[in-house]
Amino acid sequence: MCGRFTLTSNMDDLQGRFGFEARDLVFRPSYNIAPTQLVLAVTNDGQRRAELMRWGLVPFWAKDIKIGYRMINAVGETAATKPAFRAAFKKRRCLILADGFFEWRKDGKEKIPTYIFLKSQEPFAFAGLWETWKSPEGETVKSCTILTTKPNEFMEPIHNRMPVILSGETEALWLDPMTEEPDVLQPLIQPAPAELMESRIVSSLVNSPKNNSPECVVPITGGLPGF
């Protein structure tokens, strides 16, 4: 699964990379994005637009927003058929922007916080789904989830799942509002090439979502072999 990630790139760089419009959007870079917080997502209604969404998808039929706590990730292999995700898979796909994510690698009884990013250190896009939900009080909430897939060779020693990271070409198809067929979309749900990825051991500061500073991604010495 993917339970924490970062987005520290500035808005100009993100707009240049992903080609979206962001009308007066106020976005604050984060070194420790956690579930229920707002994330930067890109949608396409004929034009790419960026907006802030709550992380943890709340289906339109849900009675309680708390269901989103259990839906920060969607299994990519089955999302197209699951009741909570199938409508969004067909009609409401998005890019969730990031420049790294965290996993906790098991080492005996310990869990070692590990920061994973692209060797190029460029921002990238998770494959996401989004929904609009209305509370009993009439509040409208847009929320999203990150699709996951089997790990590549790089991620296997760290975790048994990884987020779906799209490329420039697959981003366009994933966002295409005219594409709805699962047979076309399902092949996009693949692990990113292992050779593009890098990681480092970081401090336990990231364990708490209250900590949000550059120290969360600073490498520590004495890491695990191979990392």
Q: Is residue 224 part of a domain?
A: no
Q: Is residue 226 part of a domain?
A: no
Q: What was the pLDDT predicted at 223?
A: 46
Q: Is residue 227 part of a domain?
A: no
Domain CATH number, residue 209: 3.90.1680.10
Give the C-alpha distances (Å, rounded to integers) separating 227 from 112, 116, 220, 222.
11, 10, 11, 10
Series of mean pLDDT values for 10-residue runs along the chain (227 residues): 93 94 87 98 95 96 91 97 95 98 91 96 98 92 98 96 96 96 96 97 96 96 48
Q: Is residue 15 part of a domain?
A: yes
Is residue 4 within 8 A of residue 102, CB to CB? The reply is yes
Q: Is residue 210 part of a domain?
A: yes
Q: Is 94 a catalytic residue?
A: no
CB-based contacts of 77, cutoff 8 Å, min separation 6: 149, 189
Q: What was the pLDDT predicted at 225?
A: 42
Query: How far is residue 75's CA from residue 141's CA, in Å, rounded to a whole number?
Result: 22
pTM over cut 0.85? yes
End-to-end CA distance of the chain: 20
- Determine if residue 56 is left, alpha or beta; phi over 0 gives left, psi from -120 to 50 gives alpha, anything else beta: left
Among the listed residues 51, 103, 131, 171, the single catalytic one is 103
Query: How far is residue 194's CA from residue 81's CA, in Å, rounded to a whole number?
Result: 28
Task: Count Cβ neighbours within 10 Å for each residue of 23-44 and write b for 16 or more, e otherwise.
Answer: eeeebebbbbbbbeebbbbbbb
Give the C-alpha distances (Å, rounded to integers) separating 175 from 78, 93, 133, 147, 220.
19, 6, 21, 14, 38
The token pair at 216 is 């969360």
Number of domains comprising the chain: 1
Q: What are phi and psi of 216, to 5 degrees?
A: -65, -25
Q: Is residue 47 part of a domain?
A: yes
Q: What was the pLDDT predicted at 136?
A: 86
Q: Is residue 222 part of a domain?
A: no
Q: Is residue 225 part of a domain?
A: no
Q: What was the pLDDT predicted at 222?
A: 52
Q: Which domain holds residue 171?
A: 4-217
